[in-house]
Structure 1
Amino acid sequence: MGFPTTYTQWVMECVKTVSYNIKINGEPTMPFDAARGLRQGDPMSAFLFAIGMEYLSRMLNALKEFHFHPRGDLASVIVLQACFARFSQSSGLQANLGKSSVYFGGVSQAVQESILHKLGSHLGQPGSYRTQAERAQLIKSVLFGIQAFWAQIYILHTKVLKLIKAHCMSYLWSGSSTITKKALVAWDNVCTPKSVGGLNLTNMYLWNRAAIAKHWWDIAHKQNKMWIRWIHSYYSKQQHMDSVPVPKQANWMVRKMFEARPLVANMQIQPTGKNTIRQIYYQALTARSKMPWKCIMYKNAARPKTAFTMWLWTDY
């Protein structure tokens, strides 16, 4: 990558001279050398990781036969695997095949089998072998996070939100990307807090509305941003924001923010608190009575699969 020889020697000296000692009965042992790597928490770790990923990124950019979002085909997989093999030889890093999976979408069964055969028998397709508890966590942490950014910027089309909901629901109950109506519990019940008997998954339609309503709340209560000052000077013109009519000449996004006023009209939101969207979201949920078994169900050492099965039994 073009680093000076002296700089490389300094870095390798830091990596190769790491030693540890252990306290036994309050007395430290003699120092012993580490087999490899830096100390845990070493500030240099982040920079070395960035250098390694920069090298991998340059190798991927140099590939002419591969694009980052290709249609699944064996040729692209072979090129990508060869690139990772060269990176492993240079860096000493090896992929753990036992923890690796292949995600397929819109690919024929024959192509899937050829790709899996090329990559190795240890790799498989994630989804059906995951438990429902693991799928719920994946939906909560990954699938929701993908659309959460766009939900805070745009009003997502209802058809798009329904399609996302259908895929999430099908994946939770069947482990498949194929949309199915098979469901043991209504999705509205699944997307409620655990205290009222749900799994605390996010209602994406309501979250999108809450995110846009948060922009309106910022307009009404904050003026420390340039775009908010511009809206006040151009649309409200010193009027109280609650009485300003929806400006017909404004663009679609501004009109939607004004139309979100009723959602936050009677809500109690902490002005200096964080997670304003979450405050609006939870207050917008339909009020339900709390379940007495919430603490017994979730505040224990049971495995997620067991907790999910018990929740299903109480809610089904």
Structure 2
Amino acid sequence: MGITHLCFADDLLLFARGDESSIRLLHDKFSLFSEASGLKANLAKSQVYFGGVDDNTKATILSILGYEIGELPFKYLGLPLSTKRLTILQCKPLVNKITARITTWMAKCLSYAGRLQFVKAMLFGVQAYWSQLFFMPKKIIKMVEAVCRSYMWSGEATIAKKAIIAWDKVCLPKNAGGMNLLNLRIWNQVAICKLLWALSQKKDRLWITWIYTCYIKNQDIHTMDSPKQAAWMIRKIIHMRKHWQELGNIDSLIIGGKFHLATAYKRLRGAVENVAWNKLICYNIAEPKHNFILWVNLHGKLRTKDMLIKWGLSVDPLCVFCNSTMETQEHLFFDCPFTKGIWQSMLNWQQWDRRIQTWSVEWGRVQTEITWKRPRKVILRASLATVVYSIWIERNKRIFQHKITPRQNMVHQMKLSLCTRVRRNQRLFSYINSL
């Protein structure tokens, strides 16, 4: 193919035949370039790699260049380059990089909703770079998921099994009861399918030209046997043909001449079933931390006292607000006179004239009463999230900090939170001001 070098920024790879004359010629030209430009190779960071060269020739070449001998895999652009299957040790820098971001002081100060967004934007951004270039080992995917899971639920990078909601559920779309995080295993498979598609299109790219020249030649990539002499990653790309049937019509995945990863991901993930309360989360304009606690509560996973007692913990079973009934989800939302009064005050403020019933009935009414786009309905849904969040926070303050906020003050803070949230939406802000 006549490849002499690969260069990106200050990372340079030079290629030559493994004989003394070729190396001397390459070294002389590189020295001439250094004298003309003033740019010199850093001997401490430079290495020479051999393939199919005898020991005597290796010694001669090393004496000419003055570099240390290197071994595969080595890093290029922050990624390990190897002809063999990536090992756990080679992928460990990915886990270490994610852990390093988690341990920063800013990451530790985030709420549940903040951690969720941090995982989406930062951690998966790091992982996505690797997953689109390599077939990730299953153990590394599990380690990355474990670190992300532990951070989201505990705020720490230390891997623990404490999770309020299973990670598989968290990775589901919001309409299916999840938080729309990427499933790393499926995303990795889809990313490799994209490489297979690019390979099948014979795009004018260096790596594709090289694979066709060395391995595919005149064969059909869809029917050929996997070349046994090819590098492990190339064989993995060709093996991804088994997932093409699951993707269906490949042409429908091509948008603007590009393979659409998001659409392929949804197809490979498969159809999901909507939860009954999906619109409460998907179309809720409340603060993210309010929506997060509402989401946990809709799953029935808030750690109320009855749940703690079932786990064998010794706690006072009585509701911290009324001190007369065991604290359960149904009691806390909204059988308790104190919390019922809060929800009733918010409904009265928005001119909803009805009697409060059980928790399952209340969220069902908020979900279905009228079209969600109307300002009255939008504010009602946001109010439900704000009330659930505020009650849960007040409950924890009374138990752990022994602080009490009067009910009228809580209602005032909730109204203020809603007004602040919609201040940039003229339609909603005008509606709230009219109340």
Separation in 2, partners of 1:272, 1:125: 41
- With over 3 angstroms needed to count, the CA separation of the structure-2 counterparts of 1:275 and 1:169, relative to structure 1, is farther
For residue 11 of structure 1, what is the aligned residue in structure 2?
none
Deviation at 1:104, TM superposition (A): 8.1
Deviation at 1:221, TM superposition (A): 3.1
Q: 2:197 aligns with which of 217, 239, 242?
A: 217
- With over 3 angstroms needed to count, the CA separation of the structure-2 counterparts of 1:104 and 1:240, relative to structure 1, is closer
SS at match of 1:145: helix
Deviation at 1:248, TM superposition (A): 0.5
Corresponding letter in the other structure for 1:240: D
Deviation at 1:127, TM superposition (A): 4.3
- What is the percentage of aligned positions where both structures have the same residue? 37
Separation in 2, partners of 1:204, 1:266: 18
Whether 1:240 aligns to 2:223 is no
SS at match of 1:302: coil
Whether 1:304 aligns to 2:278 is no
Separation in 2, partners of 1:184, 1:104: 19
- Aligned runs of 1:221-232 on 2, under 5 Å? 221-232=201-212
Deviation readout 1:198-251 (Å, 9 max, x if unpaired) = 101111122112111110111123433343244334433333322111110111
Higher relative contact order (CA 8 A, sep 6+): 1
For residue 88 of structure 1, what is the aligned residue in structure 2?
none
- With over 3 angstroms needed to count, the CA separation of the structure-2 counterparts of 1:148 and 1:104, relative to structure 1, is closer
- Aligned runs of 1:147-296 on 2, under 5 Å? 147-267=127-247, 268-269=249-250, 270-273=253-256, 274=258, 276-296=260-280
Separation in 1, partners of 2:273, 2:167: 18
SS at match of 1:155: coil
Corresponding letter in the other structure for 1:161: I
8 Å CA contact retained: 2:102, 2:157: no
Corresponding letter in the other structure for 1:259: H
For residue 110 of structure 2, what is the aligned residue in structure 1?
130
Separation in 1, partners of 2:259, 2:217: 29
- With over 3 angstroms needed to count, the CA separation of the structure-2 counterparts of 1:147 and 1:103, relative to structure 1, is closer
Per the normalisation by structure 2, the TM-score is 0.42
For residue 314 of structure 1, what is the aligned residue in structure 2?
298
SS at match of 1:260: helix
| Residue correspondences, number | 197
8 Å CA contact retained: 1:103, 1:125: no
Separation in 2, partners of 1:103, 1:216: 32
Corresponding letter in the other structure for 2:284: N
For residue 367 of structure 2, what is the aligned residue in structure 1?
none
8 Å CA contact retained: 1:214, 1:280: no
- Aligned runs of 1:54-73 on 2, under 5 Å? none
Q: Runs of at least 4 residues of structure 1 off by over 4 A?
A: 102-105
Corresponding letter in the other structure for 2:282: Y
Separation in 1, partners of 2:189, 2:164: 27
- With over 3 angstroms needed to count, the CA separation of the structure-2 counterparts of 1:295 and 1:307, relative to structure 1, is same
Deviation at 1:190, TM superposition (A): 0.6
8 Å CA contact retained: 1:222, 1:228: yes
- With over 3 angstroms needed to count, the CA separation of the structure-2 counterparts of 1:275 and 1:173, relative to structure 1, is farther
Corresponding letter in the other structure for 2:263: Q
8 Å CA contact retained: 2:112, 2:152: yes
RMSD of the alignment, in Å?
A: 2.4
Separation in 2, partners of 1:104, 1:150: 18
- Aligned runs of 1:53-132 on 2, under 5 Å? 125-132=105-112
SS at match of 2:225: coil
8 Å CA contact retained: 2:116, 2:152: yes
Corresponding letter in the other structure for 1:291: V
Corresponding letter in the other structure for 2:268: A
8 Å CA contact retained: 1:170, 1:180: yes
Structure 2 residues not aligned, in runs of 5+: 1-99, 301-435
- With over 3 angstroms needed to count, the CA separation of the structure-2 counterparts of 1:222 and 1:178, relative to structure 1, is same
Separation in 2, partners of 1:197, 1:235: 46
- With over 3 angstroms needed to count, the CA separation of the structure-2 counterparts of 1:221 and 1:271, relative to structure 1, is farther
Structure 1 residues not aligned, in runs of 5+: 1-101, 106-123
Deviation at 1:314, TM superposition (A): 1.9
SS at match of 2:255: coil
Deviation readout 1:267-310 (Å, 9 max, x if unpaired) = 13422345622222221114221234333323232010111111
Separation in 1, partners of 2:242, 2:205: 23
My pick for the range that moved more, 178-187 or 276-285, is: 276-285
Separation in 1, partners of 2:296, 2:102: 29
SS at match of 1:262: helix
Which entry has the higher C-alpha Rg, 1 or 2?
2
Separation in 1, partners of 2:153, 2:202: 43
